[in-house]
Amino acid sequence: RVVTIDDHHHSCIVDMGQKNKVAEDIVRNIAMKYGGISWIGCYPMKGKELKETGVLHSQSLAWDLGKTVMKARKKHEDPIESILEFLKEDRGIPGAHIFTGKVMDINREFGSETTHGFSMGRVTLEGIEEYEGQEAHLEFQNEWLVAKIDGEVKCLPPDMIALLDPETGEPIRTDLIRYGYRVKMIVLPAHENMRTPEGIETFGPRYFGFDEDYTPIEKLLEVEDD
């Protein structure tokens, strides 16, 4: 079952049946009726099931990333390089810095939260520093989903895109991005559980409406290096 509630204590219980995706669609529509925000409790499971299907240690990873950024600030080190080094050396996650730019255009689809269940839009970055003369485009639906540089796809869901403040390492969310912001873009591979056929069906580009087949960032970046 999925339990939903909003700030005014309106609540609803949805029986999930055999297809989690159906329950998600129902709950997303309920959230739209709530005005776009809903608190949700869902997917009860046994410990064994969680170990087999979950993305484990996510909370501790977020905690450790925060400590890494704070340490870099105190030592006046590059926070983005510190993040990538920590991910690779400590967690075995091979991330990459692929663009540095300035926000030149933001196109938000106002009302998409209540019509589609996502905050949707596009952002254009003008390359600066070593990326001067290049242009990056990002598509978002609540989260950063697709990144293209000079028209070439560089990252697709479920792989992850993060825009970070170059000075502080602070993540810049889709709802906080503004014209003129300077950002560094890094990409990270999704957990192996999200790259299974079932995972791609649930989290891949076509689920979000993009006419692209999923290609891991490792292959996309290999093409870039060549």
Does 52 map to a domain? no
Residues 71, 18 share a domain? no
Residue 36 Rama label (left phi>0; alpha psi -120 to 50; beta): left
Which stretch of DSSP H or E encloses residue 22? Answer: helix 20-34
Residues 220, 120 share a domain? yes
* pLDDT (0 to 100) of residue 15: 85
Cβ atoms 83, 162 nearer than 8 A:
no
Residues 65, 20 share a domain? no
Residues 115, 25 share a domain? no
3-class SS of residue 82: helix
Q: Give the Cα separation of 101 and 152 in Å (integer).
A: 16
Does 49 map to a domain? no
* pLDDT (0 to 100) of residue 221: 87
Does 106 map to a domain? yes
Residues 186, 144 share a domain? yes
Residues 19, 91 share a domain? no
Residues 150, 114 share a domain? yes
Averages of pLDDT over each 10 residues, the chain, 226 residues: 92 82 85 86 89 91 97 97 97 97 94 69 98 98 97 97 98 96 98 94 94 96 61
Distances in Å between the Cα of 117 and the Cα atoms of 9, 24, 129 are: 20, 11, 37
- Give exposure, 131-151, as e/b (b: 16+ Cβ within 10 Å): beeebbebbbbeebbbbebee
Residues 73, 10 share a domain? no
What is the Cβ-side half-sphere exposure of residue 150, based on CA atoms within 13 angstroms?
8
* pLDDT (0 to 100) of residue 11: 95
Does 53 map to a domain? no
Backbone angles phi, psi at 22, to 5 degrees: -65, -45
Residues 88, 35 share a domain? no
The structural domain count of the chain equals 2
Distances in Å between the Cα of 71 and the Cα atoms of 76, 138, 167 are: 9, 30, 13
- C-alpha 200, offset from chain centre: 15
* pLDDT (0 to 100) of residue 149: 98
Which stretch of DSSP H or E encloses residue 65? Answer: helix 58-74
Backbone angles phi, psi at 209, to 5 degrees: 90, 10
Q: Give the Cα separation of 177 and 163 in Å (integer).
A: 9
Does 214 map to a domain? yes
Does 20 map to a domain? yes
Does 181 map to a domain? yes
Is the pTM above the cut of 0.75? Answer: yes
3-class SS of residue 195: helix
Q: Give the Cα separation of 41 and 50 in Å (integer).
A: 15
Residues 114, 187 share a domain? yes
Cβ atoms 139, 154 nearer than 8 A:
no
Domain that holds residue 120: 58-225
* pLDDT (0 to 100) of residue 43: 81
Q: Strand runs (DSSP E) across the chain, as ranges?
A: 2-5, 11-14, 39-41, 96-109, 120-127, 135-141, 143-149, 152-155, 160-164, 182-188
